[in-house]
Structure 1
Amino acid sequence: MPARPPPAPAAAPTAAAPAPALPARERLLVEAMRLFGERGFDAVTTREICSAAGVNPGAIHYHFGDKDGLYAEVLRGPVRDLQLSMAGFDDPAISLHEAICRFVRPFLFDDGSCSTQLFLREMVAPSRIFMEMVTGEIGPIFDRFAQLLARHAGMDAPNAALHQLAMGLQAMAHDYALSRPVLDAFHPELLADDPHLEQTCHRLADWGCVLVDYERQRHLNP
């Protein structure tokens, strides 16, 4: 019997290719978000941001015009993500309960990111740039939500109570996320079986439906 040829040597493992570096514009946004979130807008210089992003000092001017333009784009990113997360919340084909769930669900999630830190800073001491963002891009989202509530309450347009209800439902959702450590310290059993707050989302929608019906009855029987 002929001798069996020796086995071929095992191929050396191929090293994984390094992840491609982010474009300069994206690196500036990432580092600016981190630094602004940690220390606030006024305490961070453009030179620090460029150094952290590994770009030349003129990069901010090239991509964003100036520091204000960079900050506006940093704020705009999470707003775009929010709009994508709640897409279709005011679709007339879905129920009020599902509509409220779609609207409040994004506010129930806090990943501890720099954007959360940054927006908390702005809630305490809002800047001019942030207020322009609120007026131009965030306000219309809440107006659509209030209009949705009005439609289900049998009104042509939302009144003050429904505008307040729209803000109140969002505030409850946001507070559940941001105050989760405190709530767990008070009553750790309350959310033990709801790690992603999905049950809480549905409960908030339950309450929202009841409150919309209450406003509908007030509208019909002033």
Structure 2
Amino acid sequence: MPVKPPLPPSAAPSAPASAAPAALPPRERLLQEAMRLFGERGVDAVPTREICAAAGVNPGAIHYHFGDKDGLYAEVLRQPVRGLQAQLDGFDDPALGLHESICRFLRPFLFDDGSCNAQLFFREMQAPSPVFMHTVAQEVGPIFDRFAQLLARHAGLAAPDAAIHQLAMGLQAMAHDYSMTRPMLDAFHPELLADDPLLERTCHRLADWGCALVAYERALHAQPAFSE
């Protein structure tokens, strides 16, 4: 039997995409595609079949790995939260000064890399879903409590009061606002952040304000009306 000559490289059959060694496991593909689609259009607008099709898995894969769509969404939300937790590790170390602690806490909230999880969180902050609120309360709430406890300690208080909790939320909100409204800020006053592309100087300025406000609370609580 005559032997056929080998096919030229351009005509050689290619291996199927599923055989690629770098392919993610089905569970990770579902998370990746769900994050992308939820970020682009919102959770309610994306059917589970579309997620499965995009991930290249059968329609029952979401039930197998996550129970239901809410279970999938909760796990999608936990991915960036775990990254945030890692970035915030040690921000309240007693060996750190107040200014450095505030900088370490605010820094992760200042940057929007345009990723799908940033789009998703922006959507949720406009119209929070029950799954989002539950996940944030469970996963992020304790971090904010630690930040409030840090501020209270430097204000000379045994525990945070309402004003300290408001201060903690206000500082975080200012940092987050720089991230979410950066296009508007650049449009109104492009010179303000032109020399601070990564917002590091802005982070230090916010920490300056935070230290001043903590000092204000310390002085306020030292007045006789508070000590009686």
TM-score by structure 2 length? 0.87
1:144 Cα offset (Å): 0.5
Q: Which residue type is aligned with residue 212 of structure 2? A: V
Work out whether residues 122 and 180 of structure 2, in 8 Å CA contact, stay in contact via their aligned partners in 1.
no
Match of 1:112 in 2: 114
Q: Secondary structure at the match of 1:188?
A: coil
Match of 1:74 in 2: 76
Alignment length, in residue pairs? 205
Map 1:123-202 onto structure 2 (within 5 A): 123-202=125-204
Q: Secondary structure at the match of 1:102?
A: helix
Work out whether residues 186 and 192 of structure 2, in 8 Å CA contact, stay in contact via their aligned partners in 1.
yes
Match of 1:37 in 2: 39
1:123 Cα offset (Å): 1.3
Q: Deviations over 1:58-113 (max 9, x none)?
A: 11111111111100000111111111111101110100001000100000010111
Q: Which residue type is aligned with residue 208 of structure 1? A: G
Q: Deviations over 1:104-140 (max 9, x none)?
A: 0000010111111211221121111111112211111
Tell me the C-alpha RMSD between the 2 structures.
1.0
Give the unaligned 5+ runs of structure 1.
1-17
Runs of 4+ in 1 over 4 A off after TM superposition: none
**Percent same amino acid at aligned positions?**
78
Q: Deviations over 1:34-75 (max 9, x none)?
A: 111111111111110000011111111111111111000001
Tell me the distance in 2 between the aligned counterparts of 1:50 and 1:191. 42
Q: Which residue type is aligned with residue 67 of structure 2? A: G
Give the unaligned 5+ runs of structure 2.
1-19
Q: Which residue type is aligned with residue 81 of structure 1? A: G
Match of 2:211 in 1: 209
1:19 Cα offset (Å): 6.2
TM-score by structure 1 length? 0.90
